[in-house]
């Protein structure tokens, strides 16, 4: 049998996330900041996709997107979401749930212009999630944006923005032998409340 002690400490969950994330950066071969983002429409129909974590801290976890995309429309209708990090190399995962707030325009501008110029052009040319009759139509729009702005940064489209998830639940999961997994849930009702935590049955 295994050691009867949990391998997940009762520490600050943000500090624990930082430790696990740093270890994932060392062990994951691709995109350790990749996370599943689950949203739902105002009538409760769910949708999930992979996005990239672009910032985190005690105020939450940040990602960027086109607010006119399907996920953007769902976020506008229902400001609650869930994130999932799964690091296969470490046999660990983290689940995070909470409300979403839009980042400031200054934050959105700063991140948009930190991206490669081609990525800026691609975002400006895209009607993300809308039907596309032919890929060449999109490539022609990319070329048109590039021709319109031959030098320097591309203006950030007003609908291209970011969101910060302020966690109310953070669950850390570690694989253990014989499926006797280790789970610890940190929860709070409001961002100003202290965290409580408990182990969960696997």
pLDDT at 67 over 70: yes
Q: What is the pLDDT of residues 122-145, one digit of tens each?
A: 999 998 888 999 999 999 999 999
Closest CA to 160 of 117, 105, 114, 83: 105
The architecture (CATH level 2) of 13-113+158-199 comes to Roll (2.30)
**Mean of all residue pLDDT scores within the chain:** 95
Which of 31-35, 60-64, 125-129, 186-190 has the lowest average pLDDT?
A: 125-129
Task: Please confirm, yes or no, whether 179 is among the known catalytic residues.
Answer: yes
- Identified catalytic residue from 179, 183, 184, 188: 179
Domain boundaries, the chain: 13-113+158-199, 116-155
Phi and psi angles of residue 74, each rounded to the nearest 5 degrees, phi first: -65, -40
Report which secondary-structure segment, H or E, holds 124.
Answer: helix 117-125
Give the E-state strand segments of the chain in sequence order: 34-40, 46-52, 55-57, 60-66, 80-87, 92-102, 160-165, 169-174, 182-187, 196-199
**Residues 59-86: what's their mean pLDDT?**
96
pLDDT at 11: 86
């Amino acid at each position: 049998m295994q050691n009867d002690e949990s391998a997940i400490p009762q520490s600050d969950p943000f500090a624990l996330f930082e430790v696990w994330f740093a270890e994932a950066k060392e062990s994951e071969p691709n995109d350790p900041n990749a996370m599943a983002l689950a949203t739902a429409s105002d009538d409760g129909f769910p949708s999930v996709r992979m996005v990239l974590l672009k910032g985190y801290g005690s105020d939450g976890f940040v990602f960027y997107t086109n607010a006119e995309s399907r996920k953007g429309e769902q976020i506008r209708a229902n400001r609650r979401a869930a994130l999932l990090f799964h690091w296969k190399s470490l046999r660990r995962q983290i689940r995070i749930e909470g409300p979403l707030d839009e980042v400031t325009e200054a934050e959105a501008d700063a991140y948009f212009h930190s991206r490669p110029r081609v990525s800026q052009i691609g975002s400006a040319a895209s009607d993300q999630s809308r039907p596309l009759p032919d890929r060449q139509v999109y490539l022609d729009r990319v070329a048109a944006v590039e021709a319109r702005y031959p030098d320097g940064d591309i203006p950030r489209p007003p609908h291209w923005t970011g969101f910060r998830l302020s966690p109310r639940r953070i669950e850390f999961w570690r694989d253990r032998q014989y499926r006797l997994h280790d789970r610890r849930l940190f929860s709070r009702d409001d961002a100003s409340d202290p965290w409580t935590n408990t182990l969960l049955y696997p």
